[in-house]
Amino acid sequence: MSADKSAEIVLSLEIDDPGLADRLTALLCNVSGIRLAAPGERAAATVVARDPRGMPEDIALTQRELDVLALMAEGASNKMIARQLGISVHTVKFHVGSLLDKLDATGRTDAVAHAARRGVIEL
């Protein structure tokens, strides 16, 4: 067990409000003993702040899009999703396209990552 009091504590930020995120980043990065996590780095603790007011946060996804998204997160290909849902590959690609648009993602990997970050799906 390390009792090193000088070891840095790695913090990651999950903050919706860009202004608050900026202010916290500016404040925390100057604190000795604390370091902000690089992208992908494991953090000892996470600073979270979901949109305080309202915060329904649920992006307007249809039921079908949710179905497709869940299977996408399992690593399923369009063909697999089509077979699973009993629809054609074209329809799957149609829903994936809507998902990429609504989640502001560049690809399916990005879409799953964004959805997981926003709590739309559980990894």
Chain residues in the site for its own copies (CB under 8 A): 5, 9, 11-12, 15, 20, 23-24, 27-28, 31, 33-34, 37-49, 52, 66, 69-70, 72-75, 77, 105-114, 116-117, 119-123
Alpha helices in 1-123 (DSSP H): 18-28, 63-73, 78-85, 89-102, 108-117
- Cα torsion 49, 50, 54, 56 to 10°: value is -170
> How many angstroms separate the Cα of 26 from the Cα of each of 19, 31, 107?
11, 10, 31
Residue 26-65 contact track with DNA, rule CB under 7 A, x = bound: ----------------------------------x-xxxx
Residue type, position 3, single letter: A
Report if residue 79 touches DNA, rule: CB under 7 A. Answer: yes
Spatial contact of 46 and 11, defined as CB atoms under 8 Å apart: yes
Which one, 27 or 97, has the nearer CB to its own copies?
A: 27
Residue 99-118 contact track with DNA, rule CB under 7 A, x = bound: -x-----xxxx---------
Under the rule (CB under 7 A), what is the footprint of DNA?
60, 62-65, 77-79, 82, 85, 87-91, 93-97, 100, 106-109
